[in-house]
């Protein structure tokens, strides 16, 4: 059950791209990756609000939820759903908390390889660090209007079973992340759009505390 919940969180991050993508030369792709990696390397903290829309292919329906995200280097992430339901994920080192007022659980990722993989990928994708992870992903870059779309294709067997590809959307002006899209194996798509992104602001350490 715990494994299923965390996988659903990670896989509930996908979306469609309707704008025309402009091909880039190898040199332009490398320049984009360098700009994004430089922006990520200088980021100690990040916080934002998000809107998540899950498109379900079998039901021809969608689910929309809202929330807040907090991140602190190197391994702390708070992913909190606030509407239409309350649910909280906290990644803090080797610990992962999942729950709400009526139900909660804590998992030690040090003893669970799958949780460790998913926790690492969650943090690396929402911050853009996945661009520097050639063991897990192959990547490509396209220019779409005023943004870069970086497509990550999983290499590892465990990741291939969960999704087809991840698309990270970055603002070309400042290399800030705008969204994370994951294309699932079953054809479902979910889109997470980030707004009010703030970098390197002070975040109370209590945000990442694992509730007892």
Domain-located, residue 54 = yes
Structural domain that includes position 154: 2-198
Domain-located, residue 208 = no
In DSSP terms, 102 is beta-bridged to none
Domain count, the chain: 1
**The pLDDT value given to residue 143:** 93
Domain-located, residue 111 = yes
Domain-located, residue 205 = no
Residue 117: partners with Cβ closer than 8 Å, 6 or more residues away: 156, 158, 159
* Per-residue model confidence as pLDDT tens digits over 112-137: 877 777 787 788 888 888 787 788 88
Domain-located, residue 74 = yes
Domain-located, residue 91 = yes
Domain-located, residue 138 = yes
* Per-residue model confidence as pLDDT tens digits over 90-115: 999 889 999 988 888 998 988 887 77
Q: Tell whether omega for the bond before 72 is within 30 degrees of 0, i.e. cis.
A: no
**The pLDDT value given to residue 20:** 62
Q: What is the CATH number of the domain that holds 18?
A: 2.50.20.10
CA nearest neighbour of 189 among 60, 65, 89: 60
Give this prediction's pTM.
0.82
Tell me the pLDDT band of 14, cut-offs 50, 70 and 90: very low
Domain-located, residue 140 = yes
């Amino acid at each position: 059950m715990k494994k299923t919940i965390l996988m659903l969180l990670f896989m509930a991050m996908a979306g469609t791209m309707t704008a025309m993508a402009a091909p880039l030369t190898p040199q332009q792709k490398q320049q984009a990756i360098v700009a994004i990696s430089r922006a990520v390397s200088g980021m100690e903290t990040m916080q934002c609000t998000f809107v998540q829309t899950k498109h379900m292919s079998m039901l021809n329906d969608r689910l929309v939820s809202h929330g807040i995200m907090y991140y602190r280097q190197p391994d702390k992430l708070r992913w909190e759903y606030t509407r239409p339901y309350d649910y909280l994920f906290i990644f803090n080192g080797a610990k992962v908390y999942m729950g709400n007022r009526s139900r909660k659980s804590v998992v030690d990722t040090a003893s669970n390889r799958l949780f460790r993989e998913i926790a690492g990928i969650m943090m690396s994708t929402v911050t853009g660090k996945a661009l520097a992870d050639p063991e897990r992903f192959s990547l490509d870059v396209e220019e779409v209007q005023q943004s870069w779309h970086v497509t990550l294709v999983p290499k590892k067997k465990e990741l291939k079973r969960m999704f087809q590809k991840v698309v990270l959307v970055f603002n070309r002006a400042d290399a800030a992340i705008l969204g994370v899209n994951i294309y699932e194996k079953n054809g479902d798509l979910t889109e997470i759009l980030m707004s009010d992104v703030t970098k390197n602001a002070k975040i109370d350490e209590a945000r990442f505390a694992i509730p007892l």
